[in-house]
Amino acid sequence: MAGIVISGIGIYTPPEAITNEELVDSFNAYVKKFNEEHKNEIEAQKIEPLQESSAEFIAKASGVKNRYVMNKSGILDINRMYPDIPERPNEEMSIQCEMALPAIKEALDNAGKTSEDVDAVIVSCANMQRAYPAISIEIQDALGINGFAFDMLVACSSATFGMQTGIDSIKAGTAECVVMVSPDIMTGHVNFCDRDSHFIFGDACTAVVIEKKDTCKTDTAFEILGSKLQTKFSSNVRNNFGFLNRADESGIGKPDKLFKQNGRKVFKEVVPFVAEHITGHLDELNFKIEDMKRLWLHQANQNMNRLISTKVLGREPEPEETPIILDEYANTVSCGCLIAFKKYQDDFEIGEKGVISSFGAGYSVGSIIVEKIKI
């Protein structure tokens, strides 16, 4: 893997934010309205009444205190309870392309690169707003990049899987410089009427520049020492939305067409899966966990991250060893580990190492081991 580096990273943060308090006020108003409208059915025990939530419950259950979103008004409208994002004419730039461009620009600026230096664009995220033409090709066109582009979906693990694909392209000689970008609008697939999951997600976009060390123009970079992917099928995190939905009208609009999970099983099964993956990857490369200064983990749940870190480290982690950004951003699906990486790398000295790891639906897990080097 020697000779391939991460030379730049960028983040796009949506302009609107929703605090736990705002979300709970809206949700509880919806609950009251729903229970009043269905009073007779509830009294006849045909359906269960909805239960109110609290900001304290959300923070304790997840660590989330705030989230950035592409549209706030629609989510908080108790007569709507989902984002209000109008469709755009084909002649206009798509919203995911619009999110991607500032993140890529920041990443290219960090890397000292221009669009002319890029050979490939990979869009890797949890959800695409259309089937084709590829969002990546639209981004490629908007930036004036030659070469090739394609989309891929791996839910919350999309970042590391996309990075691995970029690494493989460079190793194969089909590209020397790859931009991997993850424009995720997860709020479009959140059930904001569900007490157990309405608070989990936010929107964001991250972009990374991956290239040969020989072409790197920055003074320092993070060399990729190893990358590893792993998958194991599970339906405990699932979204059944797809192009075949129209072929069975009875399922249209059902809750399973949005994000749905069995939280307890996910917690119980994913924690050891991820911990064993990371420790196994380190063993394969003859590294000890003591060699790693930091774990930049997917930002799904504060308690989950703490337990994974404890299993990997063999002790309770210090806050700086496994930084948390989900208190501000919530779960940004594919973007979380790279937001953490971007915001918590400035204190790295030459020769210090860390692990970028994402995990999620599939189940899927990926780990990228990096070392800060002088170019």
Tell me how far apart the alpha carbons of residues 14 and 315 are, in angstroms, rounded to a whole number: 36
Residues marked active site are found at 156
Cα angle 284, 285, 286 (rounded to 5 degrees) comes to 95
Tell me how far apart the alpha carbons of residues 119 and 147 are, in angstroms, rounded to a whole number: 5
Long-range own/partner contacts, residues 251-258 (CB < 8 A, 24 or more apart) = 255/191, 255/194, 258/189, 258/190, 258/191
Tokens 């792993």 belong to 230
Q: What are the Cα distances from residue 19, in Å, to 12, 27, 349?
A: 19, 12, 35
Tokens 């949506």 belong to 14
Buried b (16+ CB within 10 A) or exposed e, 107-125: bbebbebebebbbbbbbbb
**How far is C-alpha 134 from the chain's CA centre?**
19
Paired strand residues for 206 = 11, 182
Residues in the chain: 375
- Cβ-contact 16, 72 below 8 angstroms: yes
Q: Which amino acid is at 287?
A: F
3-state SS, 314-334, equals CCCCCCCCCCCCHHHHCECHH
- Cβ-contact 162, 172 below 8 angstroms: no
The pair of structure tokens assigned to 268 is 């119980």
